[in-house]
Structure 1
Amino acid sequence: MNPFGFQFAVILLLLLNAIMVLETQAAYVKPQRVTCYKRYSKCYLKYITCPSECPEIHPKDPYAKECFLDCYSPKCEAVCRKRKPNCDGPGAACYDPRFIGGDGIVFYFHGKKDEHFSIISDVNVQINARFIGIRPAGRSRDFTWIQAIGLMFGSHNFTLEATKAENWDQEADHLKFTYNGISLSVPLGHSSVWNSPDQNLELERTSATNSIRVTIQEIVEISANVVPVTEEEDAIHSYGIPKNDSFAHLEVQFRLFDLSPKVEGILGRTYQPSFKNPAKSGVDMAVVGGDDKYKTSSLLSADCNSCTVFTSGKKVAERK
């Protein structure tokens, strides 16, 4: 063998090996550590290392899972979780609309288009939803979707809504927010953050557009996506979606903290300790009623027939 050819081959192998080592080092991210600052948490001030599969609390990659430590769980363990709503997990409200209760049971609540309904109603928080919908000829009820969410907590209110889109464009942002009645803007881009002046409310974009996480300390965490009704969905369910409206709506998942035993609302009642869900597990398309019980007069009102008395004006810091 030509000695120069052999030397060249050895040098080439060494270079390739060096490149592979550098790429491996560049790809490696040192796992971060997380802790809880809730005194009653099992993880209080214990620093837990994130899994290697999701080493970062706020990953730069919008498709990567994040490291998460649930301070309300009896387990003191950091796990990986998706940054967008899980429509098949507890606390979800997706599609037209399909709910998954705190008891894990799937049920549907149709409501009526252009009306508002109580999702969660408790002493310290009121969360309502505005429904949009359509009623094709020959049907006795509307097809409905959640278009907006309104929250009241302490002396504050917040709204999140999907704006109308004639033709759906994922690159365009279809999220709109207000805080205490004033429009606010969250910069576009993955992981962009907005905090209220008192730091009780945080908004974090979980993708460049159309995905957000809303956190109200010690009360609720909401993951939300704006999505259209697709042509495939329209064909399967015969919605009759018009050509000039994509029916942009919200997919949401709620994580609720420190609820009272008397929590009410379409979803809230499923978190009552003694609640027996009329929608039996395993039943396809189990529809639960309650239009008359949970209808509210607006997105930011707590006047439904079965609403828990919301103590508006109470400071979050004084909840306990």
Structure 2
Amino acid sequence: MKMHTLISLFVLSCFLVVLVNASKAACKDPYYGKCYGIPLACPPGCPKLCEIECKACKPYCACDKPGAICQDPRFIGGDGVMFYFHGKKDKDFCLISDPKIHINAHFIGKKSKKGRDFTWVQAIGLLYKQHKLFIGAKNVTHWQDTNDNILMHFDEGDVQIPLGESREWRSPKAGIIVKRTSMTNVVEVEVLEVMKMKVRVVPITMEESRVHGYDISEDGNCYAHLELGFKFESLSGDVNGVLGQTYASGYRSRVKMGVAMPIMGGAKRFQTSNIFSVDCVVSRFGLEMSI
């Protein structure tokens, strides 16, 4: 069978991304002239998607940096400790709660043979001042990298950003900027003087399904979900949430170390009634505290 015929058959699959050869990334900051624009191969741990540390001119896996939330949710806390938080499918959980900012996540998932739900972050709801920003992954049956699968809403309206790298949307009054950092499916959100957040929409690949036993290849759902990476500029010492607590003053990880899958429990403390609710037990949003 000819190669072009094989490729055309796989276009109909959720798993097209696994057919692509190891990708490359490049430094996009012209300040680092010796590294700027030079394509570098992604590491084995993230052969399809990676970032470049321009100063050292080295590629790295964004999902391995503090502030990352990826996969079946795998977290890297602000303390650098990795843990899993499974939550529950079709429920919402508080990721970050601070007096200035609050971010919830909506989980999707499916039943597994292992006695728990497989779950992924499908959308986030960000509250800042009196504003609300929603970013989510579309329900995708057949994944194609060239299709943009991000949904965005700000307050009562849609956020429309033309396709293409470096295109952006701004809300000067709210101090929020959303910028595309790739042609499709990747944006960076900046809340001025508070945080930056990289948001990427990805599907479950055939290899992931095989390795983890997701068994999703027959139902036609790619389970498109979000991979997130946070960098904070201003948080209080009392910040909370599944991820936020790891940035709090005096925080010590409660997860069991030295096991294959360290689990962060306490899901009831972080659950909210909807994606824009601040009614989780650990909520700090709107409280007057010193930074």
**TM > 0.5:** yes
User: For residue 276 of structure 1, what is the aligned residue in structure 2?
Assistant: 252
Does residue 151 (structure 1) correspond to residue 126 (structure 2)? The answer is yes
User: For residue 36 of structure 2, what is the aligned residue in structure 1?
Assistant: 54
Does residue 230 (structure 1) correspond to residue 205 (structure 2)? The answer is yes
What is the CA-CA distance between 1:280 and the residue it aligns to?
Answer: 4.5
What is the CA-CA distance between 1:243 and the residue it aligns to?
Answer: 2.8
Cα distance in 2, alignment partners of residues 148 and 81 from structure 1: 30
User: For residue 97 of structure 2, what is the aligned residue in structure 1?
Assistant: 121
Of residues 87, 93, 102 in structure 2, which corresponds to 1:111?
A: 87
User: In structure 1, what residue type is equivalent to 2:177?
Assistant: E
Does residue 213 (structure 1) correspond to residue 188 (structure 2)? The answer is yes
Cα distance in 2, alignment partners of residues 244 and 117 from structure 1: 27
User: For residue 245 of structure 1, what is the aligned residue in structure 2?
Assistant: 221
Cα distance in 2, alignment partners of residues 81 and 159 from structure 1: 33
Check the 8 A contact 1:55/1:66 in 2, yes or no: no
Cα distance in 2, alignment partners of residues 168 and 104 from structure 1: 32
Q: Deviations over 1:51-87 (max 9, x none)?
A: 421279xxxxx998586xxxxxxxxxx66687x9710
Check the 8 A contact 2:159/2:169 in 1, yes or no: no
User: For residue 163 of structure 1, what is the aligned residue in structure 2?
Assistant: 138
Check the 8 A contact 1:120/1:264 in 2, yes or no: yes
What is the CA-CA distance between 1:231 and the residue it aligns to?
Answer: 1.3
What is the CA-CA distance between 1:219 and the residue it aligns to?
Answer: 1.2
User: In structure 2, what residue type is equivalent to 1:227?
Assistant: V
Residue correspondences, number: 252
User: For residue 47 of structure 1, what is the aligned residue in structure 2?
Assistant: none
Check the 8 A contact 1:121/1:268 in 2, yes or no: yes
Q: Deviations over 1:84-137 (max 9, x none)?
A: 97100000000001000000000000000010000000000000100000003x
Q: Which has the larger radius of gyration?
A: 1
What is the CA-CA distance between 1:144 and the residue it aligns to?
Answer: 0.2
What is the CA-CA distance between 1:198 and the residue it aligns to?
Answer: 2.1
User: In structure 2, what residue type is equivalent to 1:235?
Assistant: R
Of residues 209, 212, 237 in structure 2, which corresponds to 1:261?
A: 237
Cα distance in 2, alignment partners of residues 117 and 85 from structure 1: 25
Cα distance in 2, alignment partners of residues 218 and 300 from structure 1: 22
What is the CA-CA distance between 1:305 and the residue it aligns to?
Answer: 1.1
User: For residue 107 of structure 2, what is the aligned residue in structure 1?
Assistant: 131
Check the 8 A contact 2:110/2:118 in 1, yes or no: yes
User: In structure 2, what residue type is equivalent to 1:264?
Assistant: N
What is the CA-CA distance between 1:224 and the residue it aligns to?
Answer: 1.4
Check the 8 A contact 1:85/1:252 in 2, yes or no: no
Cα distance in 1, alignment partners of residues 244 and 97 from structure 2: 7
Where in structure 1 do 4 or more consecutive aligned residues deviate above 3 Å? Answer: 62-67, 78-82, 280-283
Residues 162 and 259 from structure 1, CA distance in 2 versus in 1: closer, same or farther, beyond 3 angstroms?
Answer: same
Q: Deviations over 1:23-46 (max 9, x none)?
A: xxxxxxxx855xxxxxxxxxxxxx
Check the 8 A contact 1:293/1:305 in 2, yes or no: yes
Cα distance in 2, alignment partners of residues 85 and 277 from structure 1: 23
Q: Deviations over 1:126-168 (max 9, x none)?
A: 00100000003x4421100000011000111101001011011
What is the CA-CA distance between 1:181 and the residue it aligns to?
Answer: 2.6
In structure 2, runs of 5+ residues without a counterpart are 1-28, 39-48
Check the 8 A contact 2:163/2:184 in 1, yes or no: yes
Cα distance in 2, alignment partners of residues 105 and 63 from structure 1: 20
Cα distance in 2, alignment partners of residues 223 and 167 from structure 1: 24
User: For residue 11 of structure 2, what is the aligned residue in structure 1?
Assistant: none
